[in-house]
C-alpha cells in the first residue's frame, strides 16, 4: 500500500481513520474510506502537476514570441514535453546566432542595417514559425544596437572605407620610412659573401 501511495506522493500518515471493530463490515468501510482518500489525493497531485506544466509552457511560449533565449531548465522541459517545438527552437537560435556573428563583423552602421534587413527579408512567408524567427532576430538586432561595438562604428560604408584608406596610408608611410632607415644603415661589409672575399684577399706589406 505504501508503494502505491508513494507513487502518488501520498503517505499513510496523511490519513486519520478511526480503528473499527474487528468485523467484515467495518473493515470494508475502512477500505472504502482509504481508497476514496487515495483517489482524492491523486487527483489533487495530478491537478497541481498539470497546473505547473501549463505555467511552464506559457512561460516558454511567451519567451519564444518575444525572441528571448530559454534557460537550460526550460530547454530541457521543452525537449521532453514538445520535441517538435524544441527542434524548431534550435533552428531559430542558429539563425539568431548567425545574424549576431554577421553584425559583429560589420564595418559601419549602414552595413548593420543592411544585414538586418537582408536577414528579415530572407524569412519565408510560408514558414510556420516566422513570427518566432522575426522576434528572435529583432532581439539580436536590438541588443547589438545597444552595444558599445555598434556605437564605435562609422555611420556609412563610405566613411568606413575612408577610415580604412587613411589607416592604410599611414601604415604605408611607416613602411617607407623603415625601408629608408634600413638603406641608410646598410653596411655592405657586413654582408657575409663580400666579407668572405675580403678576408680571403692576400695582405700586402709596403716598405716604410
Q: What angle do CA 138, 112, 144 make, to 5 degrees?
A: 50
Rounded CA-CA distance 195/208 in Å is 28
Tens-digit pLDDT profile for residues 44-73 = 555 556 778 999 999 999 999 999 999 999
Which residues neighbour 140 within 8 Å (Cβ) at sequence distance 6 or greater? 67, 96, 99, 100, 103
Residue 57, pLDDT score: 95
Inter-residue contact 27 to 34 (CB < 8 Å):
no
The answer as to whether 39 is a domain residue is yes
Q: Are residues 26 and 68 located together in one domain of the fold?
A: no
Residue 165, pLDDT score: 77
The answer as to whether 203 is a domain residue is no
Q: Are residues 68 and 160 located together in one domain of the fold?
A: yes
The answer as to whether 182 is a domain residue is no
Tens-digit pLDDT profile for residues 92-116 = 999 999 999 999 999 999 999 999 9
Rounded CA-CA distance 40/63 in Å is 35
Q: Are residues 29 and 91 located together in one domain of the fold?
A: no
Domain extent, residue 113, equals 61-168
The answer as to whether 148 is a domain residue is yes
DSSP letters, 78-100, are HHHH-HHHHHHHHHHHHHHHHHH
The answer as to whether 181 is a domain residue is no
Q: Are residues 67 and 44 located together in one domain of the fold?
A: no
Q: Are residues 159 and 71 located together in one domain of the fold?
A: yes
Residue 186, pLDDT score: 46
The answer as to whether 177 is a domain residue is no
Q: Are residues 27 and 2 located together in one domain of the fold?
A: yes
Number of domains into which the chain is organized = 2
pTM beyond 0.75: no
| Cell numbers that stand for 6 in this block | 508513494
Inter-residue contact 104 to 116 (CB < 8 Å):
no
Residues of the chain falling short of pLDDT 50: 1-8, 183, 186, 188-198, 206, 208
Kindly list the distances between the CA atom of residue 178 and the CA atoms of 104, 172, 174, 186, 190, in Å, as whole numbers in the listed order.
34, 10, 6, 12, 19
Q: Are residues 33 and 75 located together in one domain of the fold?
A: no
| Cell numbers that stand for 75 in this block | 530547454
Residue 132, pLDDT score: 97
Element (H, E) at 78: helix 72-81
Residue 38, pLDDT score: 72
Residue 102, pLDDT score: 97
Q: Are residues 65 and 125 located together in one domain of the fold?
A: yes
Amino acid at each position: 500500500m505504501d508503494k502505491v501511495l508513494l507513487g502518488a506522493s501520498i503517505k499513510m500518515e496523511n490519513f486519520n481513520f478511526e480503528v473499527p471493530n474487528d468485523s467484515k463490515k467495518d473493515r470494508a468501510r475502512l477500505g472504502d474510506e482509504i481508497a476514496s482518500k487515495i483517489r482524492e489525493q491523486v487527483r489533487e497531485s495530478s491537478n497541481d502537476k498539470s497546473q505547473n506544466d501549463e505555467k511552464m509552457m506559457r512561460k516558454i511560449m511567451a519567451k519564444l514570441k518575444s525572441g528571448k533565449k530559454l534557460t537550460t531548465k526550460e530547454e530541457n522541459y521543452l525537449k521532453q514535453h514538445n520535441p517538435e517545438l524544441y527542434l524548431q527552437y534550435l533552428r531559430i537560435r542558429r539563425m539568431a546566432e548567425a545574424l549576431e556573428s554577421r553584425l559583429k563583423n560589420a564595418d559601419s552602421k549602414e552595413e548593420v542595417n543592411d544585414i538586418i534587413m537582408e536577414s528579415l527579408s530572407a524569412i519565408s512567408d510560408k514558414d510556420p514559425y516566422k513570427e518566432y524567427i522575426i522576434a528572435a532576430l529583432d532581439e539580436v538586432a536590438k541588443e547589438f544596437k545597444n552595444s558599445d561595438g555598434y556605437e564605435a562604428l562609422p555611420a556609412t560604408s563610405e566613411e568606413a572605407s575612408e577610415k580604412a584608406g587613411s589607416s592604410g596610408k599611414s601604415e604605408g608611410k611607416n613602411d617607407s620610412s623603415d625601408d629608408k632607415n634600413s638603406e641608410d644603415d646598410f653596411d655592405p661589409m657586413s654582408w657575409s659573401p663580400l666579407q668572405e672575399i675580403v678576408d680571403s684577399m692576400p695582405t700586402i706589406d709596403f716598405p716604410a
